[in-house]
Amino acid sequence: MILKVEIDLEDLTQDLFNDEEYSLKEGVISSIRNDVVAEIKRNCGEQIQTQIRSIVEAKVGVLIRETFLEWFKTGKVKINSKDEVSLDEYLTHYFTQQTGYTYTTTAKSYVEDFAKKFAKDLRERYDLTFAALIVRNLQEQKLLNDDRLAELIKK
């Protein structure tokens, strides 16, 4: 005995959802469309956030550099749109506020020593970089033979 059963999915879905206007085809299409939109939003959202984050970080970095350069050029720090204080007063206040210690002559000498050492290190790095650039250019132009180069390296 062969039993043939035929089910009309449209009628079944209309009965399940109690809606004569509901169509299985439209329901499937709507579900797929919603899943695709959600996936696109998730993937694009991450990429957009990454791009925005990199742009913001670059602009903030430039702003910070410009602000520090302005502070060092003028020797003054703007606290708000009207008030300015000297860089020394600002750093003294910041040091005291952050550490709880008063900025004494000992702390001042420590900061000055640190700044002098840092400036000396930067000067030495610049000198070495400049010397290396000169030697490389002389060597590229064949104005410096290997014997002279060995003498320079020894010193």
Tens of pLDDT, residue by residue over 85-137, are 888 788 778 878 887 777 677 777 887 888 899 888 888 888 888 888 887 88
pLDDT class for 84, splitting at 50, 70, 90? confident
Q: In the chain, what are the domain boundaries?
A: 7-75, 104-155
CA atoms 29, 33, 39, 42: torsion sign: negative
Say how many residues make up the chain.
155
CA 77 to CA 92: how far, in whole Å? 12
Highest-confidence segment of 15-19, 34-38, 64-68, 108-112: 34-38
Residue 114 contacts residue 108 (beta carbons within 8 Å):
no
CA 37 to CA 131: how far, in whole Å? 59
pLDDT at residue number 24:
66
**Residues 41-68: tens digit of each pLDDT:** 888 888 888 888 889 988 988 888 888 8
Residue 59 contacts residue 51 (beta carbons within 8 Å):
no
